[in-house]
Structure 1
Amino acid sequence: MNTNVAHQSRRAIGFAILSAALYALYPPIAKVLVVSAPPAILAALLYLGTGIGMTALFPLIHHTKAGQQEVSLSRADIPALVVVIITNIFAGVLMNVGIKLTSAGNISLLSNFEIVATTCLALVFFHEHVSHRLAWAIGIITVASLLLSVNDVRQFSFSWGAIFAILATICWGFENNLTRVLSDKDPLQIVIVKGWGVGLGSMVVSVFWQEKWPTLGPTLILLLLGFFAFGVSIYFYILAQRYIGAAKTSAYYAVSPFIAVLISIVFLHESLSIHFVIALLLMVWGSYLITRDTLQS
């Protein structure tokens, strides 16, 4: 590996970790602001922040990528984009309901279930190969998710917040498989269309639910959170993929839930129950197996 390639690889790893850190801001900050902004409005503002911010940056980003011609979206992509937008509306609202009903730490760990959902759906619909290591990881993460979904094992009382979060990750797992048909198109265009589409669609849901709009302060914070946690985060993720590929980028990005847990504990002073600690250790183990499987594939 020459010096230039090694430098690009180190930068790409930095981009992947920065992307993970930016997305990790979402659960703890949303947990604080969900009191002011109901779930559908919360989703609307986050995605509108993505759409507005990335639209503003689009000319600058494409100028810096001179020579790397992207394939633009076309009319043929509209059906797939519509399904992606609808799926994300469901996922965003469900996840925010989950954030309202349970701790940010629980939500952060449960986001790992998206890997399980994505892999299982890919296995069923696309017959993708699943290695023994990945199968073990899926089982471990599933057990950890079930632990986080139960409030009281003796009374078999479920945490509705965790259940809503798991349903959201299943929606995102479906979307991850669906976006295969868009994988050769300009990812920034997809992010912008998804940001505006999901944002406006979530606003329609908020009107239907008669949710109360937050004051100016929380509104601006959520727009900025959406821009950084969803928009800029995805941009850095794309940059990392350019140099080290999708598999290695996703492996480094796997630190995001654990950064979010750390933020929740330090800044929100969330308590650590025994079953949360056990679930955390299982999630670390499962994520380690997935990272090894990904880096060696």
Structure 2
Amino acid sequence: MKLTNPDHTRGILQALAAAALFGISTPLAKMLLGSMPPLLLAGLLYAGSGIGLSVWMLLRRLRGHAITEAALTRRDAPWLAGAVLFGGVLGPILLMLGLVYTAASTATLLLNLESVLTAVLAWVVFRENVDRRVFLGMLAIVAGAALLSWQRQSAHTMPWGALAVAGACLCWAIDNNLTRPVAGGDPVQIAAIKGGVAGAINITIALAIGYRFPHIGPLLATGVLGFFGYGLSLVLFVLALRNLGTARTGAYFSTAPFLGATLSLALFAEHAGPAFWLAGALMAIGVWLHVSERHEHEHAHEALAHNHRHHHDAHHQHTHDFPWDGEKPHTHPHVHEPVIHSHPHYPDLHHRHGH
């Protein structure tokens, strides 16, 4: 039986939109480093994300909009706590430190390492399928990132800025894999919690060290940048995780650095030498190998009970004990019966089988 799933296309578009928002946020964040220290900037970016998304949820309730997303449960807490620690606290601090010592265009392209490290962790630790094409794409991205890391360093200088950015990528790779188990929950709630908690922790540390809030202009600009570049981007990323799995979502998200690097060259009048363009070409090849993958084979679905936003497709053919118009997406606990079929698919919420 051949099936098509429009959720896969939607997931690709969501991942690319998330990449665009995050990609342009990196060079813009570098512009704000002149008005505040890296630690405080990281905290304010996430605070802007958490506050903005919390207001969004509040307005959604006040307007009486029906909630079609599954709420988080107590079982999600350990996964979310780990994601906040690595992705919301350690990752942003390392990135802001890296931006101090690294050209914005170089730092932005180095963020491609996040997709590679995300895929490696998904493959090795969480046993998500990553085939030969995805692996070759990762090698191309690693080669480009390695070239960028050393292109502007002398023989006797360690690329501390590049290493800090790479450390941020590792933290976010861990974050991505820890977020996947809770991706069936409300993405706005997930992103609001991560942003609010991470922002509060980073700001508290910054104030304890002795830093002070910037003037109102940079403060508001940072909050707005955090809402779009971190908050809304994360909402879209979580939605993509549902439909594509961790490694593939990370691959599509790796287009972010190309957008950010282009903006960096325009904003900071940075010189892009041959090594920069060669690294960009290698990364482009890697991304193309990822996005052009087609994965199809006969596979078995075991019985599964869970709760997430869905519409009725080949994987959702259950009955309801409440009124439903037969069209609109809805949320409720439901059971999947065992089935064997073949169609193109990614490791989404319903395709986490072995190979």
Band of TM-score, shorter chain:
0.7 to 0.9
Could you tell me which residue of structure 2 aligns to residue 52 of structure 1? 51
Q: Which deviates more, 161-170 or 116-125? A: 116-125
Paired residues of 2:133 and 2:290 also in contact (CA < 8 A):
yes
Could you tell me which residue of structure 1 aligns to residue 298 of structure 2? none
Whole-angstrom CA distance in 2 between matches of 1:72 and 1:44: 26
Could you tell me which residue of structure 1 aligns to residue 244 of structure 2? 246
Residue aligned with 1:137, SS: helix
More strand by share: 2
User: How big is each residue's C-alpha offset from its partner over 1:261-296, in whole Å with a ceiling of 9 and x where there is no partner?
Assistant: 111112221110222122111111111111112687
Could you tell me which residue of structure 1 aligns to residue 25 of structure 2? 26
Is 1:194 aligned to residue 174 of structure 2? no
Is 1:85 aligned to residue 84 of structure 2? yes
| Aligned-pair CA distance for 1:104 | 1.4
Paired residues of 1:149 and 1:158 also in contact (CA < 8 A):
no
Could you tell me which residue of structure 2 aligns to residue 101 of structure 1? 101
Which structure has more relative contact order (CA 8 Å, sep 6+)? It is: 1
Paired residues of 2:48 and 2:195 also in contact (CA < 8 A):
yes
Q: Which deviates more, 108-117 or 150-159? A: 150-159
2:244 maps to amino acid: A
Equivalent positions of 1:63-142 (< 5 A) are 66=66, 68=68, 70-87=69-86, 88-142=88-142
Paired residues of 1:26 and 1:225 also in contact (CA < 8 A):
yes
- RMSD of the alignment, in Å? 2.9
Residue aligned with 2:292, SS: helix
User: How big is each residue's C-alpha offset from its partner over 1:149-197, in whole Å with a ceiling of 9 and x where there is no partner?
Assistant: 1155771633211110000010111111112331222221110100100
Is 1:282 aligned to residue 289 of structure 2? no
Could you tell me which residue of structure 1 aligns to residue 168 of structure 2? 168
Return closer, same or farther for 1:282/1:158 CA change in 2, 3 Å cut-off. Answer: farther
May I ask how many residue pairs the two structures share in their alignment?
Answer: 289
| Aligned-pair CA distance for 1:230 | 1.5
What residue ranges of structure 1 are gaps of 5+ in the alignment? none
Could you tell me which residue of structure 2 aligns to residue 185 of structure 1? 185
Q: Which deviates more, 174-183 or 194-203? A: 174-183
Whole-angstrom CA distance in 1 between matches of 2:280 and 2:235: 28
Whole-angstrom CA distance in 2 between matches of 1:250 and 1:64: 34
Q: Which deviates more, 192-201 or 11-20? A: 11-20
Paired residues of 1:150 and 1:156 also in contact (CA < 8 A):
no
User: How big is each residue's C-alpha offset from its partner over 1:73-126, in whole Å with a ceiling of 9 and x where there is no partner?
Assistant: 233333322222211200010011111111111121111111111111122212
1:258 maps to amino acid: F
Residue aligned with 1:185, SS: coil
Return closer, same or farther for 1:97/1:287 CA change in 2, 3 Å cut-off. Answer: same
Whole-angstrom CA distance in 2 between matches of 1:147 and 1:31: 22
Return closer, same or farther for 1:159/1:219 CA change in 2, 3 Å cut-off. Answer: same
| Aligned-pair CA distance for 1:51 | 0.7
What residue ranges of structure 2 are gaps of 5+ in the alignment? 296-343, 347-355
Equivalent positions of 1:235-274 (< 5 A) are 235-237=235-237, 245-246=243-244, 253-274=253-274
2:25 maps to amino acid: Y
More helix by share: 1
Return closer, same or farther for 1:237/1:169 CA change in 2, 3 Å cut-off. Answer: closer
Q: Which deviates more, 207-216 or 195-204? A: 207-216
Whole-angstrom CA distance in 1 between matches of 2:127 and 2:238: 26
Q: Which deviates more, 231-240 or 164-173? A: 231-240
User: How big is each residue's C-alpha offset from its partner over 1:22-41, in whole Å with a ceiling of 9 and x where there is no partner?
Assistant: 22221111111112121111
Whole-angstrom CA distance in 2 between matches of 1:162 and 1:287: 21
Q: Which deviates more, 15-24 or 85-94? A: 15-24
Could you tell me which residue of structure 2 aligns to residue 148 of structure 1? 148
Paired residues of 2:114 and 2:254 also in contact (CA < 8 A):
no
Whole-angstrom CA distance in 1 between matches of 2:177 and 2:9: 29
Whole-angstrom CA distance in 2 between matches of 1:9 and 1:74: 26
1:106 maps to amino acid: T
Q: Which deviates more, 14-23 or 160-169? A: 14-23
Return closer, same or farther for 1:237/1:126 CA change in 2, 3 Å cut-off. Answer: closer
Could you tell me which residue of structure 1 aligns to residue 230 of structure 2? 230
Residue aligned with 1:52, SS: helix
Return closer, same or farther for 1:275/1:72 CA change in 2, 3 Å cut-off. Answer: same
